[in-house]
Structure 1
Amino acid sequence: MRNEPTPTAAPTVDPRSTSLSRLLTLVHHHGMLSRAQLTKLTGLNRSTISVLIGQLVSDGLVFEAAPAGEAQVGRPSPEVRPNPRVAALAVNPEVDAVTIGLVGLGGQVIKKIRYTTERIPTAAEAVNIAAAVIAGMRGELDSQYKVVGIGVAVPGLVNAADGLVRHAPHLGWHNEPLAQLLAQACGYPVAVSNDASLAAEAEMIFGAAAGSRNVIYLNGGASGIGGGIISEGRLLAGTSGFAGEFGHTLVRSDGGLCHCGARGCLQTEVIRAPLLALLKLDAGEPGELAGALSASTDPLVAAEVRRQLGFLAIALRTVVNVFNPEAVVLDGFLAALDAAAPGELAVAVAAQALIEPAAQMGIRAATLGADLMMVGAAELAFATLLANPTSAKLKPCGR
């Protein structure tokens, strides 16, 4: 007779730890909530909320303050705020720079340093740059902050489990153990993920899609089009973290060859370069293209905008039919395209997609701007703390 394996007991879930996680996450995402609001949002009673907040205060993760504004009738409920001295480091390697930031609990970008490079940095060079900048901040970090770790936003395919960058085509990186290299260089825990996926999460929590639970984020930049999927309030990563590559959606069967090897990808038809050429612009500041497109009266520019919006609508038709999102958030030059011909993209999508999901979806412009990647990468670093606030063992720190 065959011996059956002994069933493994399910891990015990500590209700207190779960409640602490929920409270800290709510305060982190909202920036400020009163005890009364936390009681309502969690369904916990007031005495339990008081005890849990007391522990978070003791651990230096939140602080309480008297409510601002005019005097209220009755005893006012104290405001609970995240402690911005509990912070995460954020790193974003690009084709022409490596940006390093410090982000406090609550999503506030405290500091941001953009180190420009004369050429595309290798993975080792990006690590060295980030490590050098962080070393220069070390005195300030050690004396004034409690750093939970480093989050890295990379424009490429990343193994979520180990932070291995499998393929970052525009950086020329292949199978780079970025998390391991940066952790060894800096001494902090490191997590790495795709930049567009992190941006999607940041816009859902702090930006244009705050309050929405089903969101598609699309960003257009010099390196192509990336995206992220939020499903029922969670980032949809896929088996290894590769989900959200909307730039490789087929929009034209006889289209140009993409670097992925396929033809007619969205990012071969919807592309920033011809817009810049028609407007006689270099890359410039992020808002420069949007302003120039909106101000242009050149029929050639208008024709190119409509051509690209047409292909973007084809891609969004698929997105709407497959994912049924509440919101599609556009960033980078995609937001500029939409703003240059207000309403045209929404009309084109509605004309092609299924009626019901199209009617439920709104197209919005991203709002976090230049801080987006820092906030998104920091959220990756904060994940462990938010999931289990007692795991960090942080001492109280100033605010």
Structure 2
Amino acid sequence: MLTTTLTSRDVRRINRSTVLQAIYRAGAISRLQLSQCCGLSVATITNVVAELLAEGILLEAGLEASDGGRPRRLLELNREYGYFFGVEIGETDIAVELFDLTLQNIQTAHYSLHGEENHPMKAVQCVIEGVTTLLAALNIPREKILGMGLGVLGLVDHTDNDAVLAPSWQWQRVPLKELINQSLHIPLYLDNGAKTMALVELHMRKTSATNETMIVANLGTGVGAGIVYEGKLYCGKTNSAGEWGHTVMALDGALCRCGRRGCLEAYVGAPAIITRFRQRVSDRSEACDEDETHALIAILEAAQHNDEVAIQVLQETAHYLGAGLANLVNLFNPQSIMLGGWVGTLLGPYLLPEVRRFVERYALKLPFDATQILVSQSGKDAGSIGAALLARENFLQKIWRESPVHSWRG
């Protein structure tokens, strides 16, 4: 049996990270409360807190309300100690958002993309421009940036310098991290956008998700899933777990953007829904709108006004989606499935009753009865918030360094 011996430096790193995680969750907390929730002695807490106060990561934030005893000083994170960027590279939009140490959004830069603009260097240019513009507008020095997370479409191969493979964009092992950091030189972390969205759901649940198996269905132009197993992201051998949109729903079925046929994405992705509608009502204004969001909103509004064609198209979407979710229920036996992504949050409230009905039809009874199916409440910025969380988690893992703001060398 293998055993691991922790050095005093390892213990110090773990204690610092544990304390910071607890303060992130609590917002403001006393030393005694920290000791109780972290399972560390008061002496250890005193030493760790003293270090973090001296480094400027923590601040003392007034006194705890007293119930007759001596009031205790509260601790909180110093919002201005450093900042994180969260970037979502989506099919039609790139969002570059700046967050403070507590992950409160400060400012956002958006860049629209058209189908012909999906070249890697266009994405790199937008990210660099967004970061540079926000830092200049807010007069924040680059050395105050603790990290940047990117949620991207496609696969991220962590064994090959975080190369990005996005078949729908014809990206083959694009060294996105290297290309961006040729200009920015910021600690940079990449992962698939569905995984970063799953991080947001975990963050919203805080301590209640420790043992939870949960799936976040990312429904947009593309389709994917972020899988959480016992409170942690499940990534698989090659970090490609969650490519749910490319599970086969129909043998030799509709052509998918990945080049194969019958994928779930070819039936429930935004282009597929819009195409089905356009094929049946080519003479109507809803069918002519080239913007995917506007087109889907128009279809939804038509269905809500009892338009038979729109109702039929969305009913078919619920049918395919329900069958796809039933596969996830049978395979992973999750406690919850969250419908996320811009299509999931837009259509989810309307589709949810029918989706549940079809999931019940196709899933096994025992796992279905144990699964909640809900629409995510994490909002339209979930992708960029999740990317910032990715950067924050990596910052916390490295917090033992003497000066985290200045220690990274690229």
Aligned mates of 2:399, 2:269 — CA distance in 1: 43
Partner SS for 1:389 = coil
Which residue does 1:158 correspond to in 2?
Answer: 156
CA contact (8 A) 2:226 2:242 kept: yes
Q: 2:385 is matched with which residue: 360, 375, 385?
A: 375
Q: 1:324 is matched with which residue: 330, 333, 356?
A: 333
Offset at residue 78 of structure 1 (A): 4.0
Structure 2 gap ranges (5+): 279-285
Q: Which moved more, 1:387-396 or 1:92-101?
A: 387-396
Matches of residues 38-53 of structure 1 in structure 2 within 5 Å? 38-53=34-49
Offset at residue 147 of structure 1 (A): 1.0
**Are 1:124 and 2:121 an aligned pair?**
yes
**Are 1:217 and 2:216 an aligned pair?**
yes
Q: Which amino acid aligns with 2:38?
A: T
Aligned mates of 1:383, 1:148 — CA distance in 2: 11
Q: Which amino acid aligns with 2:227?
A: I
Q: Which moved more, 1:279-288 or 1:386-395?
A: 279-288
Aligned mates of 1:203, 1:337 — CA distance in 2: 19
Offset at residue 76 of structure 1 (A): 4.3
Aligned mates of 2:11, 2:158 — CA distance in 1: 27
CA separation of 1:37 and 1:360: change in aligned 2, threshold 3 A: farther
Which residue does 2:132 correspond to in 1?
Answer: 135
Aligned mates of 1:51, 1:353 — CA distance in 2: 53
Partner SS for 1:253 = coil
Q: Which amino acid aligns with 2:387?
A: A
Offset at residue 81 of structure 1 (A): 2.7
CA separation of 1:206 and 1:285: change in aligned 2, threshold 3 A: farther
Offset at residue 362 of structure 1 (A): 1.0
Q: Which moved more, 1:231-240 or 1:26-35?
A: 26-35
Aligned mates of 2:105, 2:152 — CA distance in 1: 19
CA separation of 1:361 and 1:206: change in aligned 2, threshold 3 A: same
Q: Which amino acid aligns with 1:82?
A: L
CA contact (8 A) 2:151 2:193 kept: yes
Matches of residues 209-248 of structure 1 in structure 2 within 5 Å? 211-212=208-209, 213-222=212-221, 224-248=222-246
**Are 1:19 and 2:19 an aligned pair?**
no
Q: 2:348 is matched with which residue: 316, 325, 338?
A: 338
**Are 1:66 and 2:62 an aligned pair?**
yes
Partner SS for 2:40 = coil
Q: Which moved more, 1:303-312 or 1:283-292?
A: 283-292
Offset at residue 151 of structure 1 (A): 1.4
**Are 1:366 and 2:366 an aligned pair?**
no
The structure with the largest helix share of the pair is 2
What's the TM-score, normalizing by structure 1? 0.85
CA contact (8 A) 1:159 1:241 kept: yes
CA separation of 1:172 and 1:287: change in aligned 2, threshold 3 A: same
Offset at residue 330 of structure 1 (A): 0.6
Offset at residue 246 of structure 1 (A): 0.8
**How high is the sequence identity, in percent, across the aligned residues?**
26
Which residue does 1:4 correspond to in 2?
Answer: none
CA contact (8 A) 1:109 1:374 kept: no
CA contact (8 A) 2:77 2:101 kept: yes
CA contact (8 A) 2:300 2:347 kept: no
Which residue does 1:257 correspond to in 2?
Answer: 255
**Are 1:109 and 2:105 an aligned pair?**
yes
Aligned mates of 1:358, 1:262 — CA distance in 2: 30
Aligned mates of 1:269, 1:287 — CA distance in 2: 14
Aligned mates of 1:83, 1:294 — CA distance in 2: 49
Structure 1 gap ranges (5+): 1-6
Q: Which moved more, 1:281-290 or 1:345-354?
A: 281-290
Aligned mates of 1:143, 1:15 — CA distance in 2: 32
Q: Which moved more, 1:378-387 or 1:73-82?
A: 73-82
Offset at residue 210 of structure 1 (A): 7.4
CA contact (8 A) 2:334 2:371 kept: yes
CA contact (8 A) 1:250 1:264 kept: yes
Which residue does 1:386 correspond to in 2?
Answer: 396
Which residue does 2:359 correspond to in 1?
Answer: 349
CA separation of 1:176 and 1:381: change in aligned 2, threshold 3 A: same
Partner SS for 2:380 = helix
Per-residue displacement from partner, 1:58-103 (whole Å, max 9, x unpaired)?
22223231368x7644344444333332211222333444321112
Aligned mates of 2:46, 2:214 — CA distance in 1: 34
Q: Which amino acid aligns with 1:221?
A: G
CA contact (8 A) 2:147 2:395 kept: no
CA separation of 1:30 and 1:349: change in aligned 2, threshold 3 A: farther
Partner SS for 1:100 = strand
Aligned mates of 2:241, 2:91 — CA distance in 1: 22
Q: Which amino acid aligns with 2:263?
A: C
Between the two proteins, the alignment pairs up a number of residues equal to 387
Aligned mates of 2:298, 2:377 — CA distance in 1: 16
Q: Which amino acid aligns with 1:219?
A: N
Q: Which moved more, 1:55-64 or 1:100-109?
A: 55-64
Which residue does 1:183 correspond to in 2?
Answer: 181
Partner SS for 2:394 = helix
CA contact (8 A) 1:158 1:194 kept: yes
